Amino acid sequence: MTTKPTSLSLLTTTRFAIFSIVAACFVLQVINSLPGINLNGLGIYPRSIQGLIGILCAPFLHGSWWHFASNMLPFAVLSWLICQYSVKRFYSVFIFTALVGGLLVWAFGRSSLHVGLSGVIYGLWGFILCYGVVRRSLKSIVIAIVVAILYSGFIWGVLPQRFHISFESHLFGALSGLFLGYKLAKADRQKGL
């Protein structure tokens, strides 16, 4: 006989899911800040064989403490909102947007190092908005409205504005999130979930 997880165990699992990624980013930023160490060379460098490793590493690396800090709050909020569906769903969206968005940056991005969690953040954002529109359950619509209100300014981040900001990571992260949101919402509607 299986038991349904309690809200306390779900909260603990959700906190662990989000905290583990934030902690990994923090530890890598501390190491990256040490004299003589530059882990950002492990970021995505488009169309180079050695840049492929960046698809896995780039989301956990940041160019500065300001870059790190500016990514953590939106990441935590959007991650928590996706965890309201399930922690498994959060991991699926995180992994898909990191890999697919990263691969698209590698294939089509500017010849520059691309690092940071913002591609995944835009993926989470795109997923929530598309899932809410397509799924059309009360829960998904409310979550999408909250995200649309809180993060409406994200739309400008997918456009080239400043040279040192990887709009490609934002754009391809958002597109991968939109795609996954559409596919999963359609599947969930057919299953009646």
165 falls within a domain: yes
Where does the pLDDT of residue 14 fall: very low under 50, low under 70, confident under 90, or very high at 90 and above?
A: confident
2 falls within a domain: no
Count other C-beta atoms under 10 Å from residue 8's C-beta. Answer: 8
74 falls within a domain: yes
> In the predicted model, is pLDDT for residue 8 greater than 80?
no
Residue-wise pLDDT tens digits, 122-142:
999 999 999 999 999 999 999
Strand partners, 114: 44
Q: Is the pTM of this model over 0.75?
A: yes
1 falls within a domain: no
127 falls within a domain: yes
Count other C-beta atoms under 10 Å from residue 128's C-beta. Answer: 27
| Amino acid identity, position 2 | T
CATH value at residue 31: 1.20.1540.10
Provide the number of structural domains found in the chain.
Answer: 1
| Domain that residue 150 falls in | 7-191
What's the token pair of residue 188?
A: 């969930």
134 falls within a domain: yes
117 falls within a domain: yes
Residue-wise pLDDT tens digits, 37-49:
999 999 999 999 9
SS3 143: helix
30 falls within a domain: yes
Strand partners, 44: 114
